Amino acid sequence: MTAMVSDAAVGTDRRRSGRLRRNKKHRAQLVQREAEEGRSHERWRSELQHKLYSAKLMEALARLRLAGDGGGGGGGEEVRVVPTRGRTVRDAADRALAFAAKGRTRWSRAVLMTTANRVKLKFRRIRAGGGKGRLGVTGAGGGRWMGRKGKGKVSVGRLRGKGSAGVRRKVRELGSLVPGCRVEPMNVVLEEATDYIAALEMQVRTMSALAQLLSGGDSDAAPAAGHGHTSS
């Protein structure tokens, strides 16, 4: 009889907390995935991130005033020179991307701060102390990644000394490409670069899917743009 009671209890529990458990499980899975993997590549490839970013991007784009000709609607208030349309879109996309990074990386913070306001650069220096501490999270993720990924391990040529001049030069070049990494030490630059590349890839994927959607693309469009199908 005890068995029956316990079974019934389990049954009701399951039914009652089924929804809760599913939500909890889902959330736990997400958190687990984000924390355990920690690998920037995985994070930027997840469906959730893709959806978040595309939603943010569309929101931002819809707000933009792109019809520069004809209407002095938006142009009257802005004192600055209105940049070319492509540039505006690109800046908006970059800002949305940096926002999606949730400020966990240096490049995302740099992108957000430059576009917001020049005055905010003052706060940037003060934030630098907190920012460096926060970067530890990505560092941990990196270490864990290396331990996990066994297949396809490639070896890199040994560096002579603490990074020979050639390598250092290349890292500097890399630093000038990744926003906000021009004067950072080598390991920071490399770390940021990996995350930045993964994020850029996602940006490209999302934007091309969006462009296909807008131009009434073929049915071979990306699966993410599934429901917007105005297949003519």
Partner 1 sequence: MSSRRSRSRQSPSSAINDDQIIELVSKLQQLLPEMHTRRRSDKVVSASKVLQETCNYIRSLHREVDDLSERLSELLALSDHAQADVVRSLLLHQ
Report the site for partner 1 in 98-127 (rule: CB under 8 A).
Answer: none
30 near partner 1 (CB under 8 A): no
Q: How far is the CB of 228 from partner 1 (least distance, A)?
A: 6
Q: E strands, 34-83, where?
A: none
Orientation of helix 121-148 relative to helix 106-116, angle to 10°: 160
Contact with partner 1 (CB under 8 A) among 33, 34, 37, 41: 41
76 near partner 1 (CB under 8 A): no
Q: Which stretch binds partner 1 (CB under 8 A): 9-17, 26-34, 116-124, 171-179?
A: 171-179
Kindly give, in sequence order, each residue whose CB lies less than 8 Å from that of residue 53, ignoring residues fewer than 6 positions away: 96, 97, 100, 202, 203, 206
Contact with partner 1 (CB under 8 A) among 133, 136, 150, 223: 136
134 near partner 1 (CB under 8 A): no
155 near partner 1 (CB under 8 A): yes
Q: Whole-angstrom distance between the N-terminal and C-terminal Cα of the chain?
A: 64
Kindly give, in sequence order, each residue whose CB lies less than 8 Å from that of residue 78, ignoring residues fewer than 6 positions away: none
Question: Are the CB atoms for 160 and 175 separated by under 8 Å?
Answer: no
Contact with partner 1 (CB under 8 A) among 33, 88, 103, 222: 88
197 near partner 1 (CB under 8 A): yes
